[in-house]
Amino acid sequence: MSAPQIVVHHDKELMAQAAAARLITKVVDAQASRGFASVVLTGGRNGNGLLAALSSAPARDAIDWSRLDLWWGDERFLPEGDPERNHTQAREGLLDSVPLDPARVHPMPASDGPYGSDVEAAAAAYAAELAAAARPEDHASVPTFDVLMLGVGPDTHVASLFPEHPAVRETQRTVVGVHGAPKPPPTRVSLTLPAIRAAREVWLLAAGEDKANAAAIALSGAGEVQAPAAGAYGRARTLWLLDSAAASQLPRDLYPPASS
């Protein structure tokens, strides 16, 4: 478990731009050392903001997009192409404009896919896909992702792991179907905390006043069942990327002055 590092930016636009620059550097370094990189994307306001910033970043072409594996932390269990799906939003925000290898892009199954409305079968299939990509040197039945990004919800949820829900208590499976999510749609597919913790680095993104209480709770030592964001950490690094509004309830001794 890595202790969280906190980086605070003046506003959400600067946060997104800085996070995009940080991600470019991380991917380029991984590709230089290993030949490829593996990243888990997140949706939502902050995840999509980062992708938009990455799309317009001058340095984006430093990445060899053909040697980048992309996964998702969670997905709304909706039909393929639905505008609410994280995969659809990611394609519109970035993925359709860069030369990715389609075989290395791993969206979670849709509700009109081969598993139909069976979200548990869809989750099991994604777990099997992750396990097939894991190498002998990886620490779990998932690849050791270079960066796994998570948006933090106002209720402290990450991916589709909501406070007190059964999915946040999962200790064995890497992917689960989520039923009765407190925000629509109620049915989702999500990585679990064991899968999240296999990543080298976990980045938690939060911007806006509505995320301030969640950040304060998660960084105050709360339990992961009550505050799932508190249970999301990387093997080598756990990075909280906040804007000043989201950091407004944190003790100032937790982080240096705003960095951009």
| 3-state SS, residue 191 | strand
83 alpha carbon, distance to own chain's centre: 19
Q: Please state the pTM of the whole predicted model.
A: 0.95
In a domain, 260, yes or no: no
Contacts 24+ apart (CB under 8 A), 120-127: 120/177, 122/77, 122/177, 122/189, 123/173, 123/175, 123/176, 123/177, 123/189, 123/190, 124/175, 126/175, 126/189, 127/173, 127/174, 127/175
Number of domains in the chain: 1
**For residue 9, how many other CB atoms are within 10 A of its CB?**
22
Q: Helix H segments across 74-200?
A: 86-93, 119-133, 193-196
Structure tokens at 126: 């994604």
In a domain, 40, yes or no: yes
For residue 232, the domain's CATH number is 3.40.50.1360
In a domain, 19, yes or no: yes
Least Cα distance to 50 among 92, 15, 101, 10 occurs for: 15
Least Cα distance to 250 among 3, 1, 6 occurs for: 6
In a domain, 225, yes or no: yes
Residue 201 burial (CB < 10 Å; 0-12/13-18/19+)? Answer: buried
Q: What are phi and psi of 144, to 5 degrees?
A: -80, 90
145 secondary structure, DSSP code: -
What per-residue confidence (pLDDT) applies to 257? 62
Each residue's pLDDT tens digit in the chain (260 positions)?
Answer: 778 999 999 999 999 999 999 999 999 999 999 999 999 999 999 999 999 999 999 999 999 999 999 999 999 999 999 999 999 999 999 999 999 999 999 999 999 999 999 999 999 999 999 999 999 888 789 999 999 999 999 999 999 999 999 999 999 999 999 999 999 999 999 999 999 999 999 999 999 999 999 999 999 989 999 999 999 999 999 999 999 999 999 987 777 665 54
In a domain, 44, yes or no: yes
In a domain, 245, yes or no: yes
Q: What residues make up the domain containing 95?
A: 4-254
Residue 29 contacts by C-beta under 8 Å, 6 or more apart in sequence?
Answer: none
What per-residue confidence (pLDDT) applies to 138? 84
**For residue 58, how many other CB atoms are within 10 A of its CB?**
8
In a domain, 227, yes or no: yes
Query: Residue 173 and residue 111: Cα distance in Å, rounded?
Result: 21
**For residue 143, how many other CB atoms are within 10 A of its CB?**
22
Kindly list the distances between the CA atom of residue 86 and the CA atoms of 79, 120, 144, 160, 258, in Å, as whole numbers in the listed order: 12, 19, 22, 12, 30
Dihedral over Cα of 41, 47, 48, 52: its sign: negative
In a domain, 259, yes or no: no
What per-residue confidence (pLDDT) applies to 155? 97
